[in-house]
Structure formats: structure tokens, C-alpha cells
Structure 1
Amino acid sequence: MKDHYLILAGLGLATLIMAWLPSVSKKIKVSSPIILILIGFLLFAADIPLPWPDPLWADRGLMYFSEAIVIISLMGAGLKIGTKYNWKSWKRPLLLVFVTMPICMGCSYFLGKYFLLLSLPSSLLLAAVLAPTDPVLAADVQLDDPDREKKYKGKIRFALTAEAGLNDGMAFPFSYLAVLVAQAGSWAAFNFTEWLWDKLLLKIVIGIIVGLLIGRGTGLLLIGFHRLTGIKTFDGFLALSLTFMTYGLSELLHGYGFLAVFFAGLSLRYYEKVSGDYKQKMHDFVHEVERFLLVVWIILFGGSILNGMLTLTDWRAIVFALIFVLLVRPLAGMIAIVWGKRESFKEKLAISFLGIRGIGSVFYLSWAFVQFDGFEFKNELYAITAYIILISIIIHGFTAPSIIRYFKRKTEKERQQKNIPAETE
């Protein structure tokens, strides 16, 4: 029983600290994941008897845990985006998805094959798992309030929020590609046509349609039920229920659940007959759940690092991680948005640089290993991904708050010069 009480006390302390952490991180200009990972180090060093990875998680358990965090975060991301953002605003995140993401994947594949010396399927898998930016660890650089009609947080936050919501689902076809190539044994035996039409196109379209229909249908139900019965739903718990239902239903209907969840949140957010206060409450509820799960995940991640996760590969992984975070993503981002005229060079550089990697990558990696247990370099892939996440947490954790703060002050100064009130665009 002593171990049981130690676990409760340790997790309780960590989540208690999380209550003040967002405010503290803003004050000291350091993202909260850095502080959380230090707490994980301390709890591991204190020998708190948590189920620490040794140094790896069980594939299936890791898949389910990371899956839950990501879909909850994707629902939150969809609910954050308001109707203020028109088609021109969406061009930027779409370029990041359809230009930046493929460039990052191509670079990861070639570096994996010729620098890390991985096999072809493992190089493909590495490229796929590093494709998505993270909607969980990147919360500090995303929109933080769904009430966009009253408070405008800037183009950078919107671009990063929308990108994370979209590319977390768009990475799935390429994870399938790696698994199918590994199962086939070679490119020659791989059925490219089936992958293209089924895994790439059909499942994406179904996921988006299911998400849009469920989001819109939920909005109609909320309004219609109130009109027919007089009973008004005002429970933030609905957002969590909607998340799991949408994800499960989309997967059953042969769609990508990640895309469905994001578009369900987005569609519901755009349904203006549902009151803004209720949307705010739904967003706040899923945000609180996401923060709790994030505490647990990062603490265990920190323990896995101290327990030897990073020793499963060699120096090449460190070099690769630094190249990917500091060169590949920023350059690929600039290539995608360099011809945009509305943003300054500094804004483009900030959007390109802040491509944070995290829990989504871990999900895709564990998912692939559950689907096919014959991947070579399994331990190395886990360690390389851990290096990417750790370096991203550190580098972006120390720089992102200052970057966002700089552009926020710049926007406020421009509004003052134009005599525009701070609470409106």
C-alpha cells in the first residue's frame, strides 16, 4: 500500500504544480513542458514507484495512451479556431501541410537511409512519424482562446494551430506506406495503387466528411433539442464524449479519426447558432483533460530518458535531431510560405521555426509496431524519436514564449498607432 500512496502523492504534486504552471511559464518565458520534464526527472530520481518505461513502453499501451492525448488535443484545436479566419488565412497552414510536410518527410527519409543507415521500411517509418507537428506540446504557441471574435492572437498562432490540426491526420497514410512496404518486403512487391486510392485518398476524404457531419449535426442537435424540449445542454463534458465518438465512428467507417476529430471541432466552432459561451466551456473542459494527461505523459517520458532510452542509439541520432529541428523544418517552412506578401520575414521565420514535434510522433511509431512487429531498428527508432522530442522541447521551450511575446507586443503597438482597441481586430 505504501507504493500506492507514493504514486498518488507524486502524481498529485505534479498536477497541483500544473495548476500554476501556465502562469509561471509565461512569467519566466519558458514553456511548461520543460518544467514538467524536470519534474519527471526528479520523481524518477526519488524512486517514486510509477510504472516507468524500462526504458521503452509496451507498444500497445503507448499507442492507446498517446492516441487519447492527441485526439483530445485535436478537438481542442478545432474548437479554438473561429470564423474570423477566411480562405486567405487558411492558405498558410495548407502550404505548411502540402509543401513543408513532404519536404520534411523526404529529408527525413534520405537522412534516415544514408546517414542513420536504417533500412528502407524503417527510413520510411521515421519520415512518417516525424511528419506531424504536435498539437499537445505546442499548446504554448497555438491559439489559447476560442473566442476569436473578441480577441485576436495573431497569424502565427493560427497558422501553427491549423497546421497541427491538419497534418496529424495527413501523416497517417505515410505510416501505412511504411507498414505496407515492410509487410511486402520490397518496393516491387508493394501495391502502390491500392495505397494511393485507399489509404491516401479514400480514408482522408471519409475522415473529413465524417468530422464535418458530426460537428454540424451536434450543433443542430444542441439547438433543436432545446427548441423542442426547452432543455438546454451546457455541459463541457460533451466535447470529450464527442471526441471519442467521432474518432471511433470515423475509424469504423474507414476514415482517419484524427482528421475527423479536428474537423468535428472546427465544424462545431463554425456553427454560430451554438452560443460562444458554450463553445468556450467545451474548449476549457477538453483543455483541462489534455493538461492532466500531458502531465502524466511527460513525467513518464522524463523517466524513460533517465532510464536509458537515449542510449539505444548512437551519436548520429543527436546530429540528426539537431539537423531536423534547426535546419530541415525551418527551411522547409520558409520554402512553403516565402512567396507570401502579407507577412514580414520575421513572421515567416517564426512560423517555419516553431514546428514542434511530440506525442503524435510517438503514437505513429507505436501504432506501426503494433501493426507489424517485423521492423528492424525498433529500439533505434524509439530513441531517435525521443531525441527529436527532447531537443524540440528544450529548443522551442526556451524560444517560443519570447517569440510569441515579441509578436504580441508588436501587434499591440501597431493597434495603438492606428487607434484600434486591443480587444478587436
Structure 2
Amino acid sequence: MNDHYLLLASLGFATLLMAWLPSISDKIKVSSPVILLPIGILLYLIGTPLGWTELLWSDNAMMIFSEAIVIISLMGAGLKIGSNYSFKAWKRPLLLIAITMPLTMLSAYLLGVYFLTLSIPASLLLAAVLAPTDPVLASDVQLDDPEREDKLKDKIRFSLTAEAGLNDGMAFPFTYLAVMVVQAGSLAAFSFSDWFWDKLLLKIVIGVAVGILLGRSIGYILTHLKKWKGIKTYDGFLALSLTFAVYGLSELVHGYGFIAVFFTGLSIRYSENVSGKYKKKIHDFSHEIERLLIVVWIILFGGTIMNGILEMTDWKGILFSVVFVLIIRPLAGMIALIGIKDSLKNKLAISFLGIRGVGSIFYLSWAFMQTDLFKNKYELYSIAVYIILFSIILHGLTAPSIISYFRKNPKRHGLDDV
């Protein structure tokens, strides 16, 4: 019984921190995940009964929990983007999707095969799960208050928000690719046409269509219920309900739910008929739920890294993780932005802040739920955890100061010229 009370007290005090953590983080210029990580380690060391071993090795538990966090974060990302961002502004995140994402995947795949000596399917899976930047851990470098963002166009935060919203769903086809190759037994036996037309094109198109249709429909309903029947919508939890409804429906009709959820939030945000105050309300509710879940996730992550997962790879896996975070992503980002007329500092900031996190864990656990044919399961988990750990520490210690630097002189850095 004491374990039960210890668990409640530990989680209660840990989540209570979120009431002050954003302000503390802003004051000391350190991202909240960096502060939460030691708390997770401490809870593990004092023996808090969180079932660390079961959570560490249970693909199903990790998949469901990380799935919930990611889709809530994706809805929030869509709601953060204001309609004042023109098509010109979308050029940056689209280039990051079209050039940076493939380059990072190709680099990870080649290093997986020739440096880590992983199998082709395992290297494909490693490349796929490292493709998405994270909409969860990267909240400090993304757009925040929708009303505030309407007053100042921030090309750096907008680019990182839109990139994370898009590429978290775009990684799914390539995770499917790895699963289909390992199930086929070889690249030669793998059906490329089935993957390309179904898993790559059709599911993406359906996801986008479902997201836009439901987003615009909800925007229409919110407006006209009040006009026709005098029925007002007060509650911010509509964002949470809509997140799960859209995600589930999209998956049921053969679309990518991650993509659908992001485009739903985006469509509601772009709907001029929905009042700005209500947009802010549903955004704020979604953001608070996301912050609550990320506290729990970081605590579990902190305990996990103490429970043996880091020992599942050798020095090559550690070196690969460092190179991926410090060299591959920044270089791929700079290549994508070559044709953009931004300052070098702007490009470096966008390229450097490619934070990795919860999405990578989701895709790994999802792939392992589909098949047990991958031979490097624990090594892949270990490499992903190292990359997330390095990203939390490196980006967590630098991102707030980087964003603050650009926001102090918006005119000088062209933040309102988007």
C-alpha cells in the first residue's frame, strides 16, 4: 500500500512543477525537459514503483502512450499557426520536408549499413524513426500564443513548428517500408509499387483530406450553431476530443492519422469564422494537456536511461548519435535552405534546432508491434534513446537563448518579414 501512496505523491509533486516550470525555464533560459530529466532519474533511484522494466520493454505500452502525446502535440502545432503566414513562408518548412528529411534518412541508412553494420531492414527502420523532428519536446522553439503570433511573424519558430507538424506523419510511409522489407525477406522480394501507391501516396492524401474536411466542418459548426440556434461552445476540451476522433477516423479510412490531426488544427486556425478568443482557448487547453503528458513521459524517460537501455549499443551507436544531432541534421538543413534569402544566423538556427523525441519512440514501438523479424530491436531502441538524450540536453541548454536572441531584435533578423 505504501508503494501506491509513494507513486501518487511522486507523480503529484512532479506534475505540480508544470505550474511554474514554463516561467522558470524562461527565466534561466533552459528548456523544461532538461529540468525534468533529473527528476525522473531521482524517482527511479528512490524506488518509485513506476514499473520501469515493464515500460522499457513493452512495445505496446510505449506505442500507445507516445502515440497519445504526439497526436495531442500535433493538434497543438496546427492550432499555433496563424493565417497571417503566407505561401512564401511555407517555402522554408516545405524545403525542410523535401530536402532535409530525405538527406537525414539517407545519411542514417548509409551509416546504419556501413558503420553500425545493421541489416538493411534495421537500417531502413533507423532512418525512418529518426526522420521526424519532434512537436513535443520542441515546444520552446515553436510558436506559442496564437494571438501573440498574429502580431509578430517569426520565420524561425514558424518553420520549426510547420516542419514538425508535417514530418511526424511523413515518417510513417518509411517505417512501413522497413516493415514491408523485413517481412518480404529481401529488397528483391519487396513490392515497391504496393508501398509507393498505397503506403506513400494514398494514405497521405487521405490523411490530408480527412484533416482539412473535418477541420473546416468543425469550424463551420462552431460558427453556425451560434448563429442559427444560439448554441455557444465554451469548452477548450473540444481540442482533445477532436484530436482522438480525427486520428481514429483517419486510420479507419486508411489515412495517416498524424497528418490528419495536424491539418485539422491548421484548418480550424485558418477558419476566419471561428473567433480568435475561442481559437486561443482550445489551443491553450491542448497545450496544457500536452505539458502534463510530457512531464510523465520525461520522468519515465529519465528512469529508463538508468535501467539498462543505454548499454544496448556500443561506442559506434553513441558516436552515430552525436554525429546525427551535431552534423547530419544541421548540414542537411543548411543544404535545404541554400536558396532562401535569410541571414546565415537564421538558417543556422533553423537547421540546428531539429529536435528529436517522442515520435521516434512511437515509430520504433509501432514497427516492433507489426513484426518480430527485426534482429536489432534493443540496439535500435538504445540508439534512439541516446539521440533523444543528446537532443534534450544540447537543444534544451541552447534553444531558449537562441530564440531569445532573435526575438530581441525582430527587425534586424527579419522576423516580421515572412
What's the TM-score, normalizing by structure 2?
A: 0.98
Aligned to 2:389: 390
State whether residues 55 and 308 of structure 1, in contact with CA within 8 Å, keep that contact through their aligned partners in structure 2. Answer: no
Equivalent residue letter for 2:201: L
Summarize deviations over 1:379-412 as a string: whole Å, max 9, x none: 0000000000000001101111111011001216
- Is 1:16 aligned with 2:1? no
Per-residue deviation, 1:123: 0.3
Q: Any unmatched runs of 5+ in structure 2?
A: none
Equivalent residue letter for 2:3: D
Query: d(CA) in 2 for partners of 1:175 and 1:233?
Result: 39
Summarize deviations over 1:189-213 as a string: whole Å, max 9, x none: 0000010000000000000000000
Per-residue deviation, 1:307: 1.1
State whether residues 33 and 137 of structure 1, in contact with CA within 8 Å, keep that contact through their aligned partners in structure 2. Answer: yes
Query: d(CA) in 2 for partners of 1:55 and 1:231?
Result: 44
Per-residue deviation, 1:287: 0.6
Per-residue deviation, 1:55: 7.5
Equivalent residue letter for 1:387: Y
Per-residue deviation, 1:150: 4.0
Query: d(CA) in 1 for partners of 2:137 and 2:413?
Result: 30
Per-residue deviation, 1:56: 2.2
Per-residue deviation, 1:95: 0.3
Q: Decide whether aligned partners of structure 1 residues 113 and 68 sit closer, same or farther in structure 2, where only a CA change above 3 A counts.
A: same
- Is 1:170 aligned with 2:156? no
- Is 1:6 aligned with 2:6? yes
Equivalent residue letter for 2:379: E
Q: Summarize the alignment of residues 263-302 of structure 1 with structure 2, pairs less than 5 Å apart.
A: 263-302=263-302
Aligned to 2:40: 40
Q: Which moved further from structure 2: 139-148 or 59-68? A: 139-148
Number of residue-to-residue matches in the alignment: 418
What's the TM-score, normalizing by structure 1?
A: 0.96
Q: Decide whether aligned partners of structure 1 residues 36 and 363 sit closer, same or farther in structure 2, where only a CA change above 3 A counts.
A: same
Per-residue deviation, 1:223: 1.2
Aligned to 2:356: 357
Per-residue deviation, 1:54: 5.5
Summarize deviations over 1:227-267 as a string: whole Å, max 9, x none: 22111112101000000000000000100000000000000
Query: d(CA) in 2 for partners of 1:331 and 1:58?
Result: 35
Aligned to 1:418: none
Per-residue deviation, 1:151: 2.8
Q: Which moved further from structure 2: 152-161 or 202-211? A: 152-161
Summarize deviations over 1:282-324 as a string: whole Å, max 9, x none: 0010111111110111101110101111001111111001100
Query: d(CA) in 2 for partners of 1:414 and 1:55?
Result: 44
Aligned to 2:88: 88
Per-residue deviation, 1:27: 1.0
Per-residue deviation, 1:57: 3.2
Summarize deviations over 1:38-87 as a string: whole Å, max 9, x none: 11011111111112136823001110000000000000000000011010
State whether residues 109 and 124 of structure 1, in contact with CA within 8 Å, keep that contact through their aligned partners in structure 2. Answer: yes
Aligned to 1:419: none
2:30 is paired with a residue whose SS is: coil
Aligned to 2:218: 218
State whether residues 153 and 417 of structure 2, in contact with CA within 8 Å, keep that contact through their aligned partners in structure 1. Answer: no
Equivalent residue letter for 2:31: S
Q: Decide whether aligned partners of structure 1 residues 181 and 46 sit closer, same or farther in structure 2, where only a CA change above 3 A counts.
A: same
State whether residues 85 and 153 of structure 2, in contact with CA within 8 Å, keep that contact through their aligned partners in structure 1. Answer: no
Aligned to 1:314: 314
Q: Decide whether aligned partners of structure 1 residues 390 and 94 sit closer, same or farther in structure 2, where only a CA change above 3 A counts.
A: same
1:214 is paired with a residue whose SS is: helix
- Is 1:197 aligned with 2:172? no
Q: Summarize the alignment of residues 115-264 of structure 1 with structure 2, pairs less than 5 Å apart.
A: 115-147=115-147, 150-152=150-152, 154-264=154-264
Query: d(CA) in 1 for partners of 2:412 and 2:198?
Result: 50
Per-residue deviation, 1:2: 1.0
Equivalent residue letter for 1:407: F
Aligned to 1:28: 28
Per-residue deviation, 1:148: 5.1
1:306 is paired with a residue whose SS is: coil
Aligned to 2:399: 400
Query: d(CA) in 2 for partners of 1:337 and 1:423?
Result: 18
Give the RMSD, CA atoms, in angstroms: 1.6
Q: Decide whether aligned partners of structure 1 residues 403 and 340 sit closer, same or farther in structure 2, where only a CA change above 3 A counts.
A: same
Identity %: 68
Equivalent residue letter for 1:404: I
Q: Decide whether aligned partners of structure 1 residues 57 and 295 sit closer, same or farther in structure 2, where only a CA change above 3 A counts.
A: farther
Query: d(CA) in 1 for partners of 2:150 and 2:361?
Result: 36
Summarize deviations over 1:167-216 as a string: whole Å, max 9, x none: 00000000000000000000110000010000000000000000000000
Aligned to 2:379: 380
